[in-house]
Structure 1
Amino acid sequence: MSDRRTFIGGAARACLAVPGIALFDTYLRSGWRSPGNRFDGGQAGRPRVVAGVSLRWCPPGRFTMGSPLTERGRRSDERQVSVTLTRGFWVGQYEVTQAQWHRFMDELPTRPLTAAFGLGDRYPVYWISHDQAQRFCVRLTAAAREAGELTSGEWFQLPTEAQWEYACRAGTSTATAFGDDISASAIHFGHESATDPHRGAVPVGRFPANAWGVHEMHGNVWGWCRDWYHAQLPGGTDPDLSTQRGDPNRDGSYSRVRRGGAWIEEDWTCRSAARLRYEPHRSSDHIGFRVVLEQR
């Protein structure tokens, strides 16, 4: 068994044997939770809802982060490293939606949301800077604690790069969670033309989920990670580069990381290992985010 499929404590063994996403989602509907730890979701992909945000459980485990030399579209900043995540976490089943943004925030995105790029409660929010996404996590945490759904040791954050790729891969080692072929039937990408009828984001959940029940990790809108951009991927145990500035941009500024690709991008950007930098104060019509729930 490869290191990508070795999960600490055996918490995720069964999910790798499930042959289809539809069957896996059916299997999860029981809503099982570990009796030993209220936070621990047990089986990979188990569902939970906190403050109206649907989550899926990612158990502790080991995986290989980055891409092999032979992967089509690979870039030099994807050199593979071994990562161990000693703590499980919950990841947003979907990108944060426009309805969720308006529910918890008293500030608007940096520019108006429009039908040209996707407008409606179930669409992902965009035109959100990294700073705004972090403030959303603070507001969401506060609301969930006030409602008695979280303890003082649990909070929402943006994912680290390692958490993001781990949740994206869901036990796979291929270019995407659906295999090496990047298909328009599974991923929303490649709609750059202004005359393309499919231009813009689609409502969350429109495209298939990965084996852990998480939708649109590939395509639709980019997702912010909390790490600063470093040309070398972080390996080791529980890597977190959110406080360590990395490689500067040409103008001397520094960037955070975005992951997952988007509706406007080429196929290579939608790979599990693809990563691009972006300054944290900036926003775009095709950058959104999803949250993770952690316990420390």
Structure 2
Amino acid sequence: MISIPAGRVTLSDRRTQRSWTVELRPYRIAVHPVTQTEYELVTGERPSAFRGDALPVESVSWWDAIQFCNARSVREGLTPVYHAHADGEGVDWDTSADGYRLPTEAEWEYACRAGTTGPRYGPLDEIAWYRGNSGERIHDVGGKRPNPWGLYDMLGNVWNWCWDIYDAEVYGSYRVLRGGGWFDEHWSCRASVRRRSHPTFHTDDVGFRVVRSGAD
């Protein structure tokens, strides 16, 4: 994992024409999305439509990602971050816990931009697998150039689940997805693009990466 310094990021939503600024504390984020090998090591399962040890795990729901984070925390002797409600309809985040969790979308975008200010941290063909160069299939993590902070596949390959609810008033429990995937056109693979989906949704271009609160 790579340590990310405290900072500030401004997010925006094209649908509502709204923007907002978030102050961030230091955190650590995985160098690449969770792979199929990593997921199987923790859960004993390989749910992905494509098969390959170094491929990002996909076809995982937001709930699957939450459960993975807790299971990996327990496996490594850390305090689980998430506590599911008894009715199975919600989850609480223990901000004092030191275990693995999903990034907030502010943490995701701040890490993706890595100090850059444009729509992407480099030329798209050099940094991401998307419809224009993927051959309409997923690829091993780390196959494209990383961003300035050393993070791979922040754009393209698989969308990343984030912790946040997208818009509770309009979309209920739908959660945020970021980053674009191997089947998306170039305009979806930008640092600011927000997508939404139900937390039980899973498909072959959606995965996740993990973070931990605090600095080393």
TM-score between the two structures when normalised by the length of structure 2:
0.84
More strand by share: 2
**Is residue 59 of structure 2 the alignment partner of residue 127 of structure 1?**
yes
Question: What do residues 233-275 of structure 1 show as CA deviations (whole Å, max 9, x unaligned)?
Answer: xxxxxxxxxxxxx1333xxx53101000001011111110001
Structure 2 counterpart SS, 1:247: helix
CA 1:64–1:107: 2 relative to 1, 3 Å: same
1:176 maps onto 2:120 in alignment: yes
Q: Does structure 1 residue 103 correspond to structure 2 residue 49? A: no
Which residue in the other structure is 1:57 paired with?
Answer: 3
Query: Which residues of structure 2 form unaligned runs of 5+?
Result: 79-95
Q: Do 1:248 and 1:255's aligned partners in 2 also have CA atoms closer than 8 Å?
A: no
Q: Name the SS for the 2:67 alignment partner.
A: helix
Residue 142 of structure 1 aligns to a residue whose secondary structure is: helix
User: Is the CA contact 2:28–2:214 (under 8 Å) kept in the aligned structure 1?
Assistant: no
Contact 2:134 2:182 in 1 (8 A): no
Task: Name the CA distance, whole Å, in 2 between partners of 1:135 and 1:78.
Answer: 34
Distance verdict in 2 for CA 1:220–1:203, change over 3 Å: same
CA contact (8 A) 1:97 1:125 kept: yes
- 1:238-249 equivalences in 2 (<5 Å): 246-249=168-171
CA distance in 1, matches of 2:116, 2:17: 16
> Measured at CA, do residues 62 and 101 of structure 1 come closer, stay the same or move farther in structure 2, by a change above 3 Å?
same
Cα distance change on mapping 1:198 and 1:166 into 2, 3 Å: same
Q: Equivalent residue for 2:83?
A: none
Sort the Cα spacing of 1:285 and 1:259 in 2 relative to 1 into closer, same or farther, 3 A: same
Rate the CA distance shift 1:197–1:227 in 2: closer, same or farther, 3 A. Answer: closer
Distance change (3 Å), C-alpha of 1:80 and 1:202: same
Counterpart position of 2:89? none
Contact 2:179–2:193 at 8 Å: present in 1 too?
Answer: yes
- Length, aligned pairs only: 198
Distance of 1:84 and 1:292 partners within structure 2 = 17
Deviation per residue, 1:82-129 (Å, 9 max, x gap): 2211x21000100000000000003442xx533xxxx21110000000
2:126 partner letter: S
Q: Which structure has the larger Rg? A: 1
Deviation at 1:184, TM superposition (A): 1.9
Identity of aligned residues (%): 35
Q: Distance in 2 between matches of 1:129 and 1:209?
A: 26
Q: Provide the secondary structure at the position in 2 that maps to 1:80.
A: strand
Q: Which amino acid aligns with 2:29?
A: V
**Match of 1:255?**
174
AA partner of residue 101 (structure 1) = Y
The residue that corresponds to 1:238 in the other structure is none
Contact in 2 for aligned 1:57/1:91 (Cα 8 Å): yes
Is 1:78–1:273's contact at 8 Å kept on the other side of the alignment?
no
In the aligned structure 2, how far is the partner of 1:95 from the partner of 1:78? 30
Structure 1 partner of 2:145:
208
**Structure 1: tracts of 5 or more residues without a match:** 1-54, 68-74, 147-151, 231-245
CA distance in 2 between partners of 1:105 and 1:284 (Å): 18
User: What displacement does 1:197 show?
Assistant: 7.2
Cα RMSD after superposing both structures: 2.1
Counterpart selection for 2:135 from 182, 187, 198: 198
Map Cα deviations across residues 121-166 of structure 1 (whole Å, 9 max, x no partner). Answer: 11000000000000000011111117xxxxx841110011111111
